[in-house]
Structure 1
Amino acid sequence: MCLGIPGQIVEITDEGRQMAMASVSGVRREVSLAPVADRPLAALVGEWVLIHVGFAMAVIDEHEAAETLEALRGLGEAQEALEAMAEGAKSLEQPA
């Protein structure tokens, strides 16, 4: 089963590579905007997207994002993915 999680684009990190920082329930993660780059990347800042394996697969509205996150939390399916993202973020913060 594929799981897409809603996240909000908070900044463009590398325009040339079409990469951005997304916030997913407070966890920040770099994602590729290539699948949704049908407009200037700066126009995507603040937009909600459905993220799967590091790619923003679709732009969704805020209401749909909130409903999807709530449904995933209710099912417990998002928890494991969010915990893995948080662990990944912690490992990036620790010095080598």
Structure 2
Amino acid sequence: MEVLSDRPDLAMVDVSGVKRAINIGLLEHGSVVPGDWILIHVGFALSKIDEMEAKAALDFLESIGQAYEDEIAALRDSMIEEE
């Protein structure tokens, strides 16, 4: 995770290998640092979670199979190229 210097309410994060800008404005200012796990929904960071909770969520998503793979493919297709 990298907080964008020109937009402190946004951070660049890795979502299953896809870089995305997400809004971290709902979290306490300064409460997230690179390496933290965060729960994201529709582009917003909702809360910090620990690694075990993140792994459980990822395991669940992977267990639903093709729907998860389709979502990740859609994310990759919509990826914004960095300059």
> One fold, TM greater than 0.5?
yes
Unpaired stretches in structure 2, ≥5 consecutive residues: none
CA contact (8 A) 1:22 1:28 kept: yes
Q: 2:62 aligns with which of 68, 73, 80?
A: 73
The 3-state SS of whatever aligns with 1:79 is helix
Post-superposition offset of 1:40: 1.3
- Note if 1:29 corresponds to 2:26: no
Name the CA distance, whole Å, in 1 between partners of 2:10 and 2:29.
14
- Measure, in 2, the Cα distance between the counterparts of 1:14 and 1:51: 20
Higher RCO (CA-CA < 8 Å; seq separation 6+): 1
Q: How far is 1:66 from its partner?
A: 1.0
The gaps in structure 1 that reach 5 residues or longer are 1-9
Backbone CA RMSD of aligned residues: 2.1
In the alignment, which residue of structure 1 is the partner of 2:73?
A: 83
1:45-56 matches, within 5 Å, as 45-56=34-45
Q: Secondary structure at the match of 1:78?
A: helix
Offset at 1:39? 3.7
Q: Is the 1:14–1:20 contact (alpha carbons within 8 Å) kept by the matching residues of 2?
A: no
What's the % identity of the aligned pairs?
34
Distance 1:14 1:33 in 2: 13
Deviations 1:44-78 (A, max 9, x none): 32111111111111111111111110111101343
User: Which is helix-richer, 1 or 2?
Assistant: 1
**Aligned positions, number:** 81
Q: Distance in 2 between matches of 1:71 and 1:78?
A: 10
Poorly superposed stretches of 4+, deviation over 4 Å: none
1:40 paired residue among 30, 43, 46:
30
